[in-house]
Amino acid sequence: MVARRTPLLALLLVGVGSAPAACGPEDVGESAPATAGTSTGASAGTTAASDGASSTSSTSSSSSSSSTASSTGDATSTSTTTTTTTTGDATTSTTGNLEPFVHAFGTTLRAGRLAFESNLPPAVDACLALPVLDPPCADVDEDGLVDAWEDAALDRLRPLRRMDEEEKLIDDADAVIADVGRVAPVGGDVRIFVMLGYHRDYGSCGGISGHNGDSERVALDLAPDPEGGPGGVVTVGAYTAAHEGSVTDHSMLFVGDDLDVLVLGDDPDTGEPRWVVFPSADKHATYATVEICEGISIVPCLDEDCAPDGVDDPAAYDLLPLSHNAGEENAPRLEDLAAVGFPGDHAWADQPFCGGLGPGSCSSAVREKLLVDPF
């Protein structure tokens, strides 16, 4: 899924489980899970799982056997389940057809709030109870949430980054950006934490305060939304981090009526609502609106600029890199960030994030961006 492309930008965006490689402009904005908002469960007897990618699993009963026939092209896949019941000396067999599960999901607006709709329940127990063939109920990170639901929600609810026209990474052929996320249950809600990773902070005022690696982030608090199906959730809180933990910390929390401030645009590929955030030029502090960004300070070298102004194609500055689900610290789905273009960095290690550029002046650890709850 490609959001928008710019002929000026050559980013290294790679999927989980593959070696990093430099990607051309056509790769900017690709999203990992789902094709047109649907995905199909695995065939019977097969479990597929990979770091940071959607996982599928099969379940079976000791008193039943399943057979699946499938082919590619125009052929039709069929699935038949035979259940054998033994009572005394008599044995009876009944055969019925089970439909393969197809994950239908996407975003919508619910009373002005960004919502995620899904026919796959997020809870593993509810997933296993679905009356379908081999529902994708794998939970590799052992948090009680179905990995396939996590991946789809992360993919559709993470924000598009709308960059400033002066942003140096636009012309940096070696630039690497990636989204590394965590989806976790908190009480009755679900929280999504997304590390917006950049290979470098270019600094301000001609490079002052620049450093290797730049681990920015956003977070969402999501409440169950029955209108959105078994896996429906709606945004009840949002967080944007700007110079988080520093003396110029301008991080902001949005709840209640403050959520009206969030910018929600149309995803250029799906046409669905997509959250839009505004990283400051070269420093990448994340803001909910251009007005918040550019109203932060009027002091030279502390002021911020966001969003493209006076350009022929503003959409060329919209970036949506691949998303990667890191899982949980005690049961990771992604650890070595070389897989996403940041060699030497790790999702769960207690180490500074250096953007794959090696030691030196670096940014905060990725694990902090995934574990510290701002709500």
Yes or no: say if 229 and 215 are a contact pair by the CB < 8 Å rule. no
Higher pLDDT, 57 or 264: 264
* Residue 50 within a domain: no
Residue 352 above 90 pLDDT?
yes
The predicted-structure confidence for 177-201, as pLDDT tens digits, reads as follows 999 999 999 999 999 999 999 999 9
- Residue linked to tokens 């990283």: 279
The predicted-structure confidence for 224-253, as pLDDT tens digits, reads as follows 999 999 999 999 999 999 999 888 899 999
Q: Report the pLDDT value the prediction gives residue 88, as an integer from 0 to 100.
A: 43
Residue 50 above 50 pLDDT?
no
Q: Report the pLDDT value the prediction gives residue 96, as an integer from 0 to 100.
A: 59
Higher pLDDT, 208 or 147: 147
Q: Report the pLDDT value the prediction gives residue 240, as an integer from 0 to 100.
A: 98
The predicted-structure confidence for 196-229, as pLDDT tens digits, reads as follows 999 999 998 877 889 999 999 999 999 999 999 9
> pTM (2 decimals)?
0.77
Q: Report the pLDDT value the prediction gives residue 207, as an integer from 0 to 100.
A: 75
Residue 139 above 50 pLDDT?
yes
Please tell me the least confidently modeled range out of 9-18, 28-37, 100-109: 9-18
Q: Report the pLDDT value the prediction gives residue 237, as an integer from 0 to 100.
A: 98
Q: Report the pLDDT value the prediction gives residue 97, as an integer from 0 to 100.
A: 85
* Interior angle at CA 335, CA 318 and CA 222, nearest 5: 55
CA atoms within 13 A on the CB side of 208: 6
Q: Report the pLDDT value the prediction gives residue 300, as an integer from 0 to 100.
A: 77
Q: Indicate the average pLDDT of the chain.
A: 81
* Residue 271 within a domain: yes
* Residue 84 within a domain: no
What is the Cα–Cα distance from 217 to 290, expressed in whole angstroms? 17
* Residue 283 within a domain: yes
> Residue range 274-287: average pLDDT?
97
Residue 60 above 70 pLDDT?
no
* Interior angle at CA 349, CA 374 and CA 211, nearest 5: 75
* Residue 83 within a domain: no
* Residue 180 within a domain: yes
What is the Cα–Cα distance from 307 to 72, expressed in whole angstroms? 45
Q: Report the pLDDT value the prediction gives residue 303, as an integer from 0 to 100.
A: 86
> Residue range 356-374: average pLDDT?
96
Residue 32 above 70 pLDDT?
no
> Residue range 350-356: average pLDDT?
98
Q: Which residues of 48-69 are buried (b: 16+ CB within 10 A; e: fewer)?
A: eebbbbbbbbbeeeeeeebebe
Residue 103 above 60 pLDDT?
yes
Q: Report the pLDDT value the prediction gives residue 38, as an integer from 0 to 100.
A: 62
Task: Tell me how crowded residue 22 is: count the other CB atoms within 10 A of its CB.
Answer: 15
> Residue range 307-312: average pLDDT?
95
Using 50, 70 and 90 to split pLDDT, how confident is the model at 301?
confident
> Residue range 53-75: average pLDDT?
36
Task: Tell me how crowded residue 76 is: count the other CB atoms within 10 A of its CB.
Answer: 7
Domain membership of residue 300 as a residue range: 25-38+147-371
* Residue 3 within a domain: no
> Residue range 302-321: average pLDDT?
93
Residue 84 above 50 pLDDT?
no
Q: Report the pLDDT value the prediction gives residue 43, as an integer from 0 to 100.
A: 34
Strand partners, 185: 190
Give 142: exposed, middle or buried? Use CB within 10 Å, 0-12, 13-18, 19+: exposed
Q: Report the pLDDT value the prediction gives residue 13, as an integer from 0 to 100.
A: 33
Residue 57 tokens read as: 């699993």
* Residue 269 within a domain: yes
Closest CA to 52 of 375, 374, 370, 373: 370
Number of domains in the chain: 1
Please tell me the least confidently modeled range out of 25-39, 100-114, 160-174, 351-365: 25-39
Residue 69 above 60 pLDDT?
no
